Amino acid sequence: MSPNSILTVSNLVKRFGGFTALDGLSFHIVPGEILGLVGPNGSGKTTAINVTSGLYAPDGGVVTFEGHDIGGAASHKLVHRGINRTFQVPKPFLSLTVRENVAVALAYGGAAASAPTIDALLTEYRLIELADRPAADLNSAQQKLLDLTRALATSPRLLLLDELAAGFNPTELDWIAERIKALAARGMAIIVVEHLMGFIEHITDRVIVMNAGKEIFEGKLAEAIRQPQVIEVFLGGEHAA
Amino acid sequence: MPKSLQHTLFILLPLVVVFAVLPGVYQNHLLLFNFVIFLILAQGVNIIYGFTGYLPFGYVGFFGAGAYGFAIMVMHFQTPAALAVLVGGLVGVALGLLLTPLLRLTGAYFAIANLAASLAVLHFVANPALEGITKGPYGVSLTGTFNPTFAYDAALVVLALTLGGVVYLRNSSFGLALQATREDAVSASMAGVNVVKMRVIAWLASALVAGLAGGVYAWYVSVFYPDNVFSGDFSIFAIVFALFGGVATILGPIVGVIILYGIYNLIGFTTPQYFQLIYGLLIMGLVLFLPAGLMSLATRRGWRVP
């Protein structure tokens, strides 16, 4: 565990009725790092993001952000502290315009005084042409970018990206990868949940492989795919030998 | 010129001035007064439904509570009427506070629970055991404060304040944040919006508006029964008028009241035998062809309706 960690998660437990989605998960991330969370469907990646962003209260364990225990704090308070996220299925304010979507976050997200303007953000994320259209007019990829822009408007220091890359073509993926790396280069800690392994390998410094709510491997993705226990959860036991 | 000033100068002010002048040229003052009451109530529905998405089927509960708040202050404390109207508004807010747990519900569940709550308040007020306080089912008679002219002016003041509130909502980031909670509460919280607090504020503002309207109504009519001021017609009319025009705009509910309540009275006077038929067809047409209200004719073309 690094003393410089911006986020430290220890022994996190989250249950839904009889199902244990997170079963003693621990990890940390330092500023400027891009950490990948990978694992099969149902392994608890999105639940980890949801607990960290305040959507669910943990049933056990500790979540510490910049030295403060944030377990169970309301989402909007975590946003003000400097955490934000995108959603696997983008969730824009459909009847508001693209510009208004970002304006709400800029007004209420506790953004730093140095935060970029709406137009600068929309230009950077290729939405400026659509600024005055309702978000409902956007395609799924554009809605994902709007989700990201809205999150960035609150000047987060920890950004959680839940399957942002799905739905983009290869050229767009390269562009998004560069944007994410640029954000990290400015000191933002970024956790990426993703199924696209090429994308993950390209942008992350380190990955946590999860299965059944637990970490089964931590390190470089290139090493992960050589580990028998990782191969087993992705492909089944007979391939592990 | 900022948009909020434009909306105040070109919508709020002309509307209030027209209704201030009309009693001098048109004799049916009760009808004008009812128009003002529905303009207020439709905007009250606009605040809670248009901006946050909660459909208040029991909206009349606040109106009736305001009317009885006014009556109790006048009957038992000999309060001046204008002050009693304010108390009526506060009684609406108090009832709103009591009902804040309903905001945990959504959609039809909220609408039904709100309707039930308004009926509960009606039966509480109309309880013969409370005759000493509310006069129970026997109704109140407030002859001492009877003054339709002042009551009408008070209604105009409430209308101006309510419209001012809606102009603010339409042009502020506060109103934008409320609409964000309506569109997606989870995303709104990730935009940093305290969703629960915002909903409660809108709910209480909407309760205040109906409470004040109930207060001026009690002042104007002076004699009423629980069934009058808790009549479900007030909720239904206010909701239908607001929806007909188009919610989350300033203009929509105004246009809705002027057209629908205008037609309502026109048919009522001229061909009462076809009244239900014509009115029913009109509302069915609205639901089928313009579910987002008349204003959506303009917004569909990309115009921004104030």
B296 vs A: CB within 8 A: no
Q: Which residues in chain B have their CB less than 8 angstroms from residue A84's CB?
A: 190
Residues in chain B within 8 Å Cβ distance of A101: 180
CB A162 within 8 A of CB A49: yes
Interchain contact, B183 vs A96, CB within 8 Å: yes
Chain A residue with minimum CA distance to B195: A76
Please, are residues A174 and A186 in contact by the beta-carbon 8 Å criterion? no
Task: Using the predicted structure, report yes or no on whether residue A2 has a pLDDT greater than 80.
Answer: no
| pLDDT given at position A111 | 80
pLDDT band at A237 (very low <50, low <70, confident <90, very high): low
Binary contact (A104, B183; C-beta < 8 A): no
Sequence-distant (6+) residues with CB within 8 A of A24 are A11, A12, A13, A61, A213, A214
CB contact under 8 A, A76 and B187: no
Per the structure, the complete domain to which residue A72 belongs is given by 1-82+157-241
pLDDT at B283 (0 to 100): 80
- Of B75, B52, B57, nearest to B119 by C-alpha is B57
Listed as own residue / partner, the contacts of A197-201 with beta carbons closer than 8 Å and 24 or more positions apart are A197/A38, A197/A221, A197/A225, A199/A165, A199/A173, A200/A36, A200/A38
Query: Quick one: A61 and A162 in the same domain?
Result: yes
Q: Do A93 and B187 touch (CB under 8 A)?
A: yes
A241 — pLDDT class (breaks 50, 70, 90): very low
Judge whether B156 and B100 are in contact, CB under 8 Å: no
Q: Are both A124 and A13 inside the same structural domain?
A: no
Burial class of residue B41 (count of CB atoms within 10 Å of its CB; 0-12, 13-18, 19+): buried
Residues A113 and A200 reside in one and the same domain: no
Residue type, position B2, single letter: P
Q: Which residue of B3, B51, B187, B296 is the best one to mutate when testing the A interface, meaning the one whose CB has the most A CBs within 10 A?
A: B187
Compute the nearest-CA separation of A79 from chain B (Å): 5
Contact between A104 and B175 (Cβ < 8 Å): no
Q: Which residue out of A52, A56, A75 would a mutagenesis test of the B interface target, given it has the greatest number of B Cβ atoms within 10 Å?
A: A75
What is the total count of domains within chain A? 2
A183 secondary structure, DSSP code: H
CA terminus-to-terminus distance, chain A: 31
A39 and A52 fall within a common domain: yes
Running DSSP on this structure, what letter comes out for residue A157?
Answer: S
Nearest alpha carbon to residue A55 among A70, A71, A74:
A74
**What is the pTM for the complete model shown?**
0.94
CB contact under 8 A, B192 and A109: yes
Q: What is chain A's percent helix, strand, coil content, to nearest 5?
A: 35, 25, 35
Tokens representing A200 are: 């993950």
- Calculate how close chain B gets to A80, using CA atoms only, in Å: 6
Q: Of A155, A176, A210, which residue is a domain's last? A: A155
The answer to whether B60 and B275 are in contact (CB under 8 A) is: no
What are the residues whose beta carbons fall under 8 Å from the beta carbon of A36, sequence distance 6 or more? A191, A192, A193, A194, A200, A203, A204, A206, A207, A208, A221
Tell me the pLDDT band of A239, cut-offs 50, 70 and 90: low
Considering only CB atoms, B186 lies closest to which of A55, A103, A153, namely: A55
Q: Is residue A162 domain-shared with residue A176, that is, in the same domain?
A: yes
Claim to verify: residue A195 and residue A215 sit in the same structural domain? yes
Residues paired with residue A83 on neighbouring β-strands, in sequence order: A158
CB atoms within 10 A of CB A59: 16
Bridge partners (DSSP) listed for residue A134:
A97
Asked if B244 and B289 touch (Cβ cutoff 8 Å), the reply is no
Separation in Å, CA of A225 to nearest CA in chain B? 34
- Chain B residue closest in CA terms to A85: B190
Using CA atoms, how far apart are residues B138 and B228, in angstroms rounded to an integer? 12
Could A96 and B191 be called an inter-chain contact, meaning their C-beta atoms sit closer than 8 Å? no
A155, A181, A211 - which closes a domain: A155
Output the pLDDT for position A31. 97
Instruction: Give the pair of three-digit tokens for residue B233.
Output: 């017609």
Residue window 205-224, chain B: list those with CB within 8 Å of chain A.
Answer: none
Domain end point (choices A115, A134, A155) = A155
* Triad B137, B140, B146: Cα angle to 5°: 160
CB A150 within 8 A of CB A105: yes
Rounded average pLDDT over A1-11:
88
Mean pLDDT taken over chain B: 95
Give the CA dihedral B83, B86, B87, B91, nearest 10 degrees.
Answer: 170
pLDDT over 70 at A27, yes or no: yes
A80 vs B contacts (CB less than 8 Å): 192
CB contact under 8 A, A76 and B193: yes
In sequence order, the 6+-apart residues with CB closer than 8 A to the CB of A72 are A54, A57, A58
Residue A63 shares a structural domain with residue A122: no
Residues A173 and A199: beta-carbon distance below 8 Å: yes
Which residue shows structure tokens 């989605």? A21
Distance from CA of A238 to the nearest CA of B (A): 42
* Same domain, yes or no: A137 and A35: no
As a whole number, mean pLDDT of residues A48-71 equals: 96
* Answer CATH for B3-299 from 3.40.1350, 3.10.450, 3.90.320, 1.10.3470: 1.10.3470
Encode pLDDT of A139-175 as tens digits: 999 999 999 999 999 999 999 999 999 889 999 999 9
How would you label B133-160 residue by residue, b for 16+ Cβ within 10 Å and e otherwise? ebbbeebbebeebeeeeebbebbbebbb
Is the domain of A146 the same as that of A49?
A: no
Q: Residue A109's pLDDT band (boundaries 50, 70, 90)? A: very high
Residues A121 and A168 in one domain: no
Q: How many Å separate Cα B252 from the centre of its chain?
A: 14
Residues A64 and A2 in one domain: yes
Give me A163's structure tokens: 């399957």
**Contact (CB, 8 A) for B179 and B30:** no
Q: With a cut of 50, list the residues of chain B below it in pLDDT.
A: none
Q: Which residues pair with A62 in a beta bridge?
A: A10
Q: Supply the DSSP string of chain B, one letter for each residue.
A: --HHHHHIIIIIHHHHHHHHHHHHH-S-HHHHHHHHHHHHHHHHHIIIIIHH----TTTHHHHHHHHHHHHHHHHHH---HHHHHHHHHHHHHHHHHHTGGGGGS-HHHHHHHHHHHHHHHHHHHT-GGGHHHH-GGG-EE-GGG--HHHHHHHHHHHHHHHHHHHHHHHHSHHHHHHHHHHH-HHHHHHTT--HHHHHHHHHHHHHHHHHHHHHHHHHHH-EE-HHHHT-HHHHHHHHHHHHHH-SSSSHHHHHHIIIIIHHHHHHHHH-GGGHHHHHHHHHHHHHHH-TT-TTHHHHTTT----
The answer to whether the CB of A180 falls within 8 A of the CB of A161 is yes
